[in-house]
């Protein structure tokens, strides 16, 4: 695996899921793989889960992690090409990225969408510079448009709880109904989590329904053939899993509104009213979550909420991806 951005980068999902199960069962079985190797984890933005789970995954593989908080630990980095650097950014990615690459064997990068320029964000301009100039495999730790480590952990969690509910493995019987629901939020958030969740669920043996107010249509490359339902209650009917997430306007149906908050309709807050029409659905959210804005206390604190095991599976997804990359390095 050269880089990890999309579900296609991990190959057949059934194989990846089986590998994730093995990693979870015996996390220290591949400690030899990372011996003498280093991963640099570059953070342009805040993180709790991604930072800790990536470090834990590295430790489990015998890999040494180095965390760089851009702007706090390092110089402020310029990310745009062709600019006159007479502002507060002292170093360009053009030099910083190959230098980082010279100190490690693989790199993880967190760089959120700026939500000002759709073309800049959807070209993954920052992550691409790491891929092009580092000479190392690069993992998106949530970049402008995707959060694959989160989506892989979401899939691992759905697989586990589907087996708990039905006794079946994903892909071996009826397909679960999975609903991705937009939820209100006071601030403009990126689309990376819903984009990747949709992409991964479309590749998995599940029936995906995406529900949101008009204007929040996700990019077609991620929606693919999923059903889009503007009536949230209708979308929730008979659901096995509900995944709530806010996202700002993706600029698909309204390019001039890219990155804006179009709607703060609190009737979209996931609460017991919507969950009552599901088939006893499990509730997922990537976290961090704003209580009683995105989801009610009652749902988040209910036995059907699986947000903590979902977050715990971030170690499993990160470790499975790093393991694959280390195996590739070893076989080169
Ligand atoms: N879900 C997630 O990526 O959490 P952090 O932003 O805390 O890393």
Rounded-to-integer distance, Cα 131 and Cα 20, Å = 25
Task: Answer yes or no: are the C-beta atoms of 254 and 118 closer than 8 Å.
Answer: no
Whether 150-311 and 3-146+314-331 are alike in CATH topology: the answer is yes
**Which class in CATH covers the domain with range 3-146+314-331?**
alpha beta
The reported pLDDT for the residue numbered 1 is 81
User: Residue 267 CB: number of other CB atoms within 10 A?
Assistant: 11
Model pLDDT, residue 71: 86
Query: Which pair of tokens denotes residue 270?
Result: 């996931």
Taking domain 150-311, whether its CATH number is 3.40.50.1370 is answered by yes
User: Looking at ligand 1, which residue's alpha carbon is closest to its atom 1?
Assistant: 286
* 331 Cα–ligand 1 center, Å: 32
Q: Which of 177, 213, 217, 221 is nearest to 196 (CA)?
A: 221
Contact by Cβ (8 Å): 231, 211: yes
Phi and psi at residue 305, to the nearest 5°? -80, 125
C-alpha–C-alpha distance, residues 130 and 141, integer Å: 12
pLDDT score at 292: 98
The residues of the chain scoring below 70 in pLDDT are none
pLDDT of residue 254: 87
State residue 330 phi and psi, 5-degree precision: -65, -35
Q: For residue 242, what pLDDT is reported?
A: 99
List, for residues 68-98, the tens digit of each pLDDT value: 999 898 899 999 999 999 999 999 999 999 9
What sections of 114-191 are H helices per DSSP? 118-122, 125-133, 148-166
CA 150 / ligand 1 centre spacing (Å):
8
Who's near 53: CB < 8 A, 6+ residues apart?
A: 149, 311, 314, 315, 318
pLDDT at residue number 94: 97
- Placement of tokens 């015996």 in the chain: 26
Nearest to 218 by CA among 198, 201, 204: 198
- How far is the centre of ligand 1, averaged over its atoms, from the C-alpha of 287 (Å)? 6
Tokens 């580092």 correspond to what residue? Answer: 134
For ligand 1, atom 4: residue with the closest CA? 49
**Cβ within 8 Å of residue 259, ≥6 positions away:** 113, 114, 115, 116, 118, 188, 248, 249, 251
Which atom of ligand 1 approaches the CA of 48 most closely? 7
Atom from ligand 1 closest to the CA of residue 147:
3
Give residue 105 CA to ligand 1 midpoint distance, Å: 24
Residues lining ligand 1, CB < 6 A? 47-50, 142, 150, 286-288
Report CA torsion sign: 206, 154, 150, 325: negative
- Domain-wise residue ranges, the chain: 3-146+314-331, 150-311
> What stretches of the chain show up as alpha helix (H) in DSSP?
13-25, 49-60, 93-102, 118-122, 125-133, 148-166, 192-203, 220-223, 232-236, 272-275, 297-300, 307-331
Asked whether 108 and 41 are in contact (CB, 8 A), the reply is yes
* Cα–Cα distance measured from residue 290 to residue 264, given in angstroms and rounded to the nearest whole number: 13
């Amino acid at each position: 695996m050269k880089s990890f951005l999309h579900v296609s980068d991990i190959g057949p999902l059934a194989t990846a899921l089986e590998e994730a199960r093995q990693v979870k069962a015996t996390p220290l079985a591949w400690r030899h793989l990372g011996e003498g190797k280093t991963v640099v984890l570059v953070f342009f933005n805040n993180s709790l889960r991604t930072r800790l789970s990536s470090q834990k995954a590295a430790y489990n593989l015998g890999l040494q992690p180095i965390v760089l908080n851009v702007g706090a630990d390092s110089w402020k980095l310029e990310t745009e090409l062709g600019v006159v650097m007479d502002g507060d950014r002292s170093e360009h990615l053009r030099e910083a990225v190959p230098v980082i690459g010279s100190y490690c064997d693989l790199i993880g990068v967190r760089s959120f969408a700026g939500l000002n320029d759709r073309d800049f964000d959807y070209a993954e301009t920052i992550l691409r510079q790491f891929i092009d100039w580092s000479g190392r495999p690069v993992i998106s730790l949530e970049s402008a448009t995707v959060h694959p480590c989160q989506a892989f952990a979401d899939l691992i969690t759905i697989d586990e709880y589907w087996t708990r509910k039905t006794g079946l493995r994903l892909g071996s019987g009826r397909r679960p109904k999975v609903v991705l629901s937009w939820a209100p939020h006071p601030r403009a958030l990126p689309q990376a989590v819903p984009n990747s969740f949709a992409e991964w669920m479309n590749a998995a043996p599940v029936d995906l329904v995406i529900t949101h107010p008009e204007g929040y249509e996700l990019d077609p490359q991620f929606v693919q053939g999923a059903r889009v339902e503007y009536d949230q209650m209708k979308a929730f009917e008979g659901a096995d899993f509900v995944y709530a997430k806010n996202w700002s306007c993706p600029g698909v149906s309204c390019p001039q509104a890219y990155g804006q908050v179009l709607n703060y309709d609190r009737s979209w807050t996931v609460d017991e009213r919507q969950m009552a029409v599901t088939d006893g659905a499990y509730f997922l959210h990537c976290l961090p979550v704003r209580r009683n804005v995105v989801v009610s206390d009652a749902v988040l604190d209910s036995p059907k909420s699986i947000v903590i095991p979902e977050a715990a599976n971030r170690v499993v997804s990160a470790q499975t991806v790093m393991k694959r990359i280390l195996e590739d390095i070893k076989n080169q």
